Structure 1
Amino acid sequence: MDGWRWLILTFLALQGIGFTNTEYYSSTEQMIDLIALDKELQIKFELYIYKELEHVQALFRVLRHVKNTIPAISETFISNPLTAYKFIEMLINKWNLIEEHISQSPSLEFIEYLDMAHEMLPDEEDLFGVALGLFRVQEIYNLYPEDVIRKMSAATQLSTDDAVLMSKVAYRNKNYKIAYMWLNETFKRLEKGDAAEVEVFELARLLASSSFIQGHVQLAIDATKLILEHDQHNEAAWFQQLEYRIHQITHEADPKVDPREPSNQSYQAMCRWEANRLSPQRQKMLFCRYSNGGGNPHLIYSPMKEEDEWDNPRIIRYHNFITDKEIDHLKKVAKSKLQRSETSPNIISNIRVSKSAFLSEEDQGVYDVTRRIEDVTGLDMETAEPLQVANYGIGGHYSPHLDLLSKEEEEIRHGNRMATFQIYMSDVELGGATVFPTIGATLKIQKGSAVLWYNLLYSGEHDVRSLHAGCPVYLGNKWIATKWIHGYGQEFRRRCSLSELD
Structure 2
Amino acid sequence: MTASDLASEAVLEAVGAGRPQNWARAFTLLRAAADGGDERAGAQLAVLGSDAATGERRDPDIAALLSFPAPVRMSEQPRLRSIAGFASAAECDWLRGRGTLGPARVFDPATGEVGTDPLRNNACAELELDDLDVVTQVVRARIAAATRLPLPVFEKPQVLRYRPGEQFKAHVDYLGPASPAADGQRIATFLLFLNEDYAGGETEFPSIGVRHRGRTGDALFFANVDPAGRPDPLTLHAGNPPRDGEKWVFSQWIRDRSFTPLERLPAASPAG
Tell me if both proteins adopt one fold, taking TM over 0.5 as the criterion. Answer: yes
Partner of residue 307 from structure 1, selected from 46, 56, 72: 72
C-alpha deviation, 1:299, in angstroms: 6.2
Unaligned runs of 5+ in 1: 1-296, 490-502
For the Cα contact (< 8 Å) 1:435–1:469, is it kept in 2? yes
For the Cα contact (< 8 Å) 1:330–1:389, is it kept in 2? yes
Q: Which residue does 1:180 correspond to in 2?
A: none
Q: What is the TM-score with the length of structure 1 in the denominator? A: 0.36
Higher relative contact order (CA 8 A, sep 6+): 2
Q: Which residue does 1:324 correspond to in 2?
A: 89
Q: Which residue does 1:423 correspond to in 2?
A: 192
Q: 1:371 to 1:303 in 2, by over 3 A?
A: closer
- The one-letter amino acid paired with 2:221 is L
Whether 2:168 is the aligned partner of 1:398: answer: yes
| 1:23-73 Cα shifts (integer Å, max 9, x gaps) | xxxxxxxxxxxxxxxxxxxxxxxxxxxxxxxxxxxxxxxxxxxxxxxxxxx
Q: How far apart, CA to CA, are the structure 2 residues paired with 1:461 and 1:450?
A: 24
Partner of residue 146 from structure 2, selected from 351, 361, 376: 376
Partner of residue 224 from structure 2, selected from 438, 455, 468: 455
Unaligned runs of 5+ in 2: 1-61, 108-112, 259-272
Q: Which residue does 1:433 correspond to in 2?
A: 202
SS at match of 2:208: coil
Whether 2:148 is the aligned partner of 1:363: answer: no
Count of residue pairs brought into register by the alignment: 191
C-alpha deviation, 1:464, in angstroms: 0.4
| 1:301-335 Cα shifts (integer Å, max 9, x gaps) | 9552422222332211111111121112111122x
For the Cα contact (< 8 Å) 2:106–2:117, is it kept in 1? yes
- The one-letter amino acid paired with 2:106 is T
Q: 1:325 to 1:370 in 2, by over 3 A?
A: same
Q: 1:299 to 1:309 in 2, by over 3 A?
A: farther
1:31-110 equivalent positions in 2, closer than 5 A: none
Q: Which residue does 2:44 correspond to in 1?
A: none
Q: How far apart, CA to CA, are the structure 1 residues paired with 2:172 and 2:66?
A: 36
SS at match of 1:346: strand
| 1:167-220 Cα shifts (integer Å, max 9, x gaps) | xxxxxxxxxxxxxxxxxxxxxxxxxxxxxxxxxxxxxxxxxxxxxxxxxxxxxx
Whether 2:155 is the aligned partner of 1:385: answer: yes
Q: Which residue does 2:253 correspond to in 1?
A: 484
Q: How far apart, CA to CA, are the structure 1 residues paired with 2:74 and 2:229?
A: 23
Q: 1:342 to 1:301 in 2, by over 3 A?
A: closer
Q: How far apart, CA to CA, are the structure 2 residues paired with 1:417 and 1:302?
A: 25
| 1:253-287 Cα shifts (integer Å, max 9, x gaps) | xxxxxxxxxxxxxxxxxxxxxxxxxxxxxxxxxxx
For the Cα contact (< 8 Å) 1:432–1:445, is it kept in 2? no
For the Cα contact (< 8 Å) 2:123–2:160, is it kept in 1? yes
Q: How far apart, CA to CA, are the structure 2 residues paired with 1:402 and 1:300?
A: 31
Greater gyration radius: 1
- The one-letter amino acid paired with 2:157 is L
Q: Which residue does 1:352 correspond to in 2?
A: 120
For the Cα contact (< 8 Å) 1:360–1:366, is it kept in 2? no
C-alpha deviation, 1:392, in angstroms: 0.9
Q: 1:478 to 1:487 in 2, by over 3 A?
A: same
C-alpha deviation, 1:366, in angstroms: 1.4
Q: 1:302 to 1:422 in 2, by over 3 A?
A: closer
SS at match of 1:333: coil
Q: How far apart, CA to CA, are the structure 1 residues paired with 2:200 and 2:256?
A: 32
Q: How far apart, CA to CA, are the structure 2 residues paired with 1:448 and 1:323?
A: 6
Q: CA RMSD in A?
A: 2.3
Q: Which residue does 1:242 correspond to in 2?
A: none
| 1:414-443 Cα shifts (integer Å, max 9, x gaps) | 311100001111115321001111111111
For the Cα contact (< 8 Å) 2:66–2:145, is it kept in 1? no
Whether 2:107 is the aligned partner of 1:338: answer: no
Identity percentage over the alignment? 27
Q: How far apart, CA to CA, are the structure 1 residues paired with 2:68 and 2:87?
A: 13
SS at match of 1:368: helix
Q: How far apart, CA to CA, are the structure 2 residues paired with 1:408 and 1:298?
A: 40
For the Cα contact (< 8 Å) 1:422–1:451, is it kept in 2? yes
Q: 1:338 to 1:303 in 2, by over 3 A?
A: closer
SS at match of 2:216: coil
Runs of 4+ with >6 A deviation = none
1:254-273 equivalent positions in 2, closer than 5 A: none
For the Cα contact (< 8 Å) 2:203–2:237, is it kept in 1? yes
- The one-letter amino acid paired with 2:247 is K
- The one-letter amino acid paired with 1:338 is L
SS at match of 2:160: strand
Which has a greater percent of strand? 2
Q: Which residue does 2:3 correspond to in 1?
A: none
Q: 1:431 to 1:300 in 2, by over 3 A?
A: closer
Which has a greater percent of helix? 1
Q: How far apart, CA to CA, are the structure 1 residues paired with 2:68 and 2:114?
A: 41
